[in-house]
Structure 1
Amino acid sequence: MPTPTITRRSLLLGTAAATATALTACDSEGGGDEAGKAATEKVTILTGAGFQGREAPIFVARQKGWFAEAGLDVQVLPGKGTTENLKNLAGGQATFATLDVSGAIIEYTRPGGIRNFTLTSVLHQRNLACFVALERSGIKTPSDLAGKTISYIPGGINQLLFPTYAKLANFDASKIKWVNAAPPQHPALLIERKVDAISQFVPAVESVQALARQPLVTLPFTDYLTDLHGSAVGVSADTARNKPDVVRRFNTALLRGLAYSIEHPDESGQIYASQKETQGQKVESAVAELKGMAGYVQGIASTPVGQFDLGRIARNIAILQGAGAIPTSIQPTDIVSPDLIG
């Protein structure tokens, strides 16, 4: 008989023990409050990069009390792109992290790359990455980027996928000059003509437009990379193994926040801008980003919001391998654990 195949996911889940918190009966002296405190699990999540309007679902789930209902006390930390987020996740500096699916696959398959993680729920069914340029720059197509200066976030998906994007768009990726910048700095660099184009996510383009007050050109990666996922929630292999119930409860509350944010962008934008972490950000920018994000969140065909389609993950992997972005193929379950969604 053939030897059974043991995948990384099945090993994680097969050894995972379900966790349950037993609340003891308490008297009228306030023992119930103490039991409630003991039952709350403190966790942290890294955003994709800094604080952007598209991160509103996290804050909505926290503000609405849905994390609290799940027994979780959630601290939101500013992420620094997929590569740095993975380093912090694997190193135990965060419980959860927002990761680009393709970026995570690239890191997982890189010789010596980080493998101590798994993806549990998908936030964006389509990749959001794009480049934005001023119309007067003369940039109209991806090939016009050759020889130009572009802003980027180190370890962010725009830079990680750029060689693949350039190959499929048929121009020389080595001719680009990159300028390292924090997310809030990108629009100013573009408007002041310090760069020719900026790395951005499509839902945020309207916010750039409001600042630039002049016509823009948007070059979405999906024009050439048609079947790539966007962001997902990742956890370390240790967390998946030892606290699967915490992971499921977190995903359930977060995806509730995600669905609510898409259905109620105006309210969610206000919630986002009112948080202590996001002070100074404009409500209208967050609302615009949430409205622009709707088409990227809603499932492909009948796939529910937040759930991975393993067939699409397989195609995501195949596209990256075919373009030479990863050295070898992997199985979808090597990197995705759909049983931990909630």
Structure 2
Amino acid sequence: MRESRFYLSEAPMGITRRRLATAGAAVLAGTVLTTVTGCARDRTNSSTADKVRVLTGAGFQGREAPLLVARAQGWFQEEGLDVEVLPGKGSGENLKLLAAGEVDVATLDVSAAMIEASKPDGIRDFRLTTVLHQRNLACFVALRSSGIRVPRDFEGKRLSYLPGGINYVLFPTYARLAGFDPSGVEWVGNPVAPQHAALLAARQVDAISQFVPAVESVRSVAKQDLVVFPFSDYIGDLHGSAMAVSTQTGQRRADVVRRFNRALLAGLDYCRRNPEAAGTVYAGQPETQGQQATLATAELTALKGYVTPVTDGQMGHFDLGRVARNIAILHAAGALGPGLTPDDIIAPDLAG
């Protein structure tokens, strides 16, 4: 696969805030949250709070809202945590930073984590604790005017990718199952996830790596009809993103990890139940200034079906049977070697 790189200027981004007593109070978020910010910060600065540095999946986008909302609503603080949310760089880079001890928690795509752990020289010193997305979100998006109608039309085209991102990692598997040669694609790398839509609008690329819930945000930039190619059309029963810690952190700071996950799942559930209020909270954070609350709301609304458990399990908790099927699918597609089991990468006792 040929590769080139095109970068737009990178913009900075960050977090804060406190819990609303009931879902009905969500409509008051715009006024109430400003009042309680100071209280949340006072507790965050307590010398007794456990500090946690966490990476989003990729930058700050609507689907990353549960982390920022949990921080803003004060749920991390209530668990005695001082949480710093940092912009992620895709699963590959996130896992390297986690393994290097640069962060305590990282958002990873489950399949990307499995593929890395199965490599002879891969990173294995991590455990997935809480699953955010029960279904894989990866897709490619093209302009309808490009003439791209089916996946094999990607041959000979320029596709954007986030270095280390799941779209790039899974692409050979996706291409084989969709019936075309992945080597005919020219890759255009850009590490800033929100900039990919601008590349598409400017026709710097023919299609972009994206997640399905963010399609409305892409449409707002491109201002024309789009064609969406979800990976799930060809690769079924794969998980989306999950939270990961190093094996050592899971062992030595198990209580901190559980408290972190409890607060995060409260944020995830709030976003699922109250996407409009959550979108407003998300767009009000320092890191997301300039992003539209309506687009964040649209992404969170589209995310509902990916967050809800596929089985009767608890939201955020792994179904180890589905994890085993996820491994089997990737193994059958030639994406990972034999021998990997759910116990090698999942720590269900840390889910919170």
The verdict on a shared fold, with TM-score over 0.5 as the criterion, is yes
Could you say what secondary structure the match of 1:37 adopts?
A: coil
How far apart in 1 are the matches of 2:152 and 2:314?
36
Question: Distance between the aligned counterparts of 1:131 and 1:287, measured in 2?
Answer: 21
Instruction: Please show how residues 182-331 of structure 1 align to structure 2 within 5 Å.
Output: 182-331=192-341
Q: What are the within-5 Å matches in structure 2 for residues 58-77 of structure 1?
A: 58-77=67-86
Q: Is the 8 A contact 1:318 1:329 kept in 2?
A: no
In the alignment, does 2:115 pair up with 1:106? yes
Q: CA deviation at 1:38?
A: 3.5
Q: Return 204-213 or 287-296, whichever deviates more.
A: 204-213
Q: CA deviation at 1:144?
A: 1.0
In the aligned structure 1, how far is the partner of 2:109 from the partner of 2:133? 9
Whether 1:89 and 2:98 are equivalent positions in the alignment is: yes
One-letter amino acid of the structure 2 residue matched with residue 122 of structure 1: V
| 1:6 paired residue number | none
Are residue 123 (structure 1) and residue 132 (structure 2) matched? yes
Q: Which residue of 2 aligns with 1:19?
A: none
Q: What CA distance in whole angstroms lies between the structure 2 residues aligned with 1:310 and 1:301? A: 11
Structure 1 runs of 4+ aligned residues shifted over 3 Å read none
C-alpha displacement of 1:287: 0.7
1:333 and 2:343 matched: yes
Q: Distance in 1 between matches of 2:57 and 2:46?
A: 30
- 1:97 match: secondary structure: strand
Q: Which residue of 2 aligns with 1:28?
A: none
**Corresponding residue pairs, total:** 309
Distance between the aligned counterparts of 2:252 and 2:55, measured in 1? 20
Q: Counterparts of 2:197 and 2:90 in 1: how far apart (Å)? A: 18
1:18 is matched with which residue? Answer: none
CA distance in 1, matches of 2:74, 2:249: 23
- Which runs of 5 or more structure 2 residues have no equivalent in the other structure? 1-41
Cα deviation, 1:127-167, whole Å, max 9, x if unaligned, reads 00000001111111111111111000011000000000001
* Residues 81 and 155, structure 1, Cα contact 8 Å, conserved in 2: yes
Cα shift readout 1:194-223 (whole Å, capped 9, x = no counterpart)? 111000000000111122221100000000
Q: CA deviation at 1:37?
A: 2.6
Residue of 23, 46, 51 corresponding to 2:55: 46
TM-score (ref. length: structure 2): 0.86
Unaligned runs of 5+ in 1: 1-32
Identity %: 60
Structure 2 CA distance for aligned equivalents of residues 53 and 185 of structure 1: 14
Matching of residue 37 in structure 1 with residue 31 in structure 2: no
Whether 1:133 and 2:142 are equivalent positions in the alignment is yes
Q: Please state whether the residue corresponding to 1:185 is helix, strand or coil.
A: helix
Aligned partner of 1:3 in structure 2 is: none
Please report how far the alpha carbon of residue 48 of structure 1 lies from its aligned counterpart in structure 2 after TM superposition: 0.4
Q: Distance in 2 between matches of 1:71 and 1:141?
A: 50
Q: 1:83-112 CA distances to partner (integer Å, 9 max, x unpaired)?
A: 100010011110100000000001111121
Paired with 2:314 and 2:187, the residues of 1 have a C-alpha distance of 38
Deviations 1:255-303 (A, max 9, x none): 0100001111111111111111112211111111100100000000212
- SS of structure 1 residue aligned to 2:46: helix
Superposed CA RMSD: 1.2
Q: TM-score, normalised by structure 1?
A: 0.89
Cα contact 1:46–1:85 (8 A) shared by 2: yes
Q: Secondary structure at the match of 2:232?
A: helix
